[in-house]
Amino acid sequence: MTTKTNLKVCHDCGAEEGQLHEFGCDMETCPFCGNQLISCECCYNILKIDASEGSWAYSHGLTESQDKQWECILEGKGRIPYVRVPFLCAMCGEVYPEMFNVPDEEWGKYIIPELQSEVLCWKCYDNMITLFPTGWKKNGTGG
């Protein structure tokens, strides 16, 4: 249970859990698409601004006026407060498992489709290889 004495703080803007991020924080979630607010395209889509390659918005972003308009739209929709959400191994639930990389082809060979977009710890990844030494596909092709 989180109490006032052990609140987590956003590493980018310093917002405490339950508080709003500062505008421009790279950890804020877009209330429209659920992705990272500063890198999603929602501001351009909702404000109907051409941000295609070669456009002014593509190279400069929003104008000050558009930025204020976007902030009002976000406030109206309801900005998402900071809450530290740990990533977990989708199989065993280990909190903040050590990250590792494997080639996409290898991941697709051993990891069943419903887990391919999830985080796995090394132990669970290794277990999948043990379960499916030639790959998860049962047609004999090995993935």
pLDDT in tens, the chain (143 residues): 545 556 799 999 999 999 999 999 999 999 999 999 999 999 999 999 999 999 999 999 999 999 999 999 999 999 999 999 899 999 999 999 999 999 999 999 999 999 999 999 999 999 999 999 999 997 454 44
| Tokens matching residue 18 | 């339950």
According to DSSP, residue 6 is labeled G
pTM as predicted:
0.67
Burial pattern 85-108, b for ≥16 Cβ within 10 A else e, equals eeebbbbeebeebeeeeeeeeebb
Distance CA 67, CA 23 (A): 10
Q: Where are the alpha helices (DSSP H) in the chain?
A: 42-46, 56-60, 64-77, 104-110, 122-131
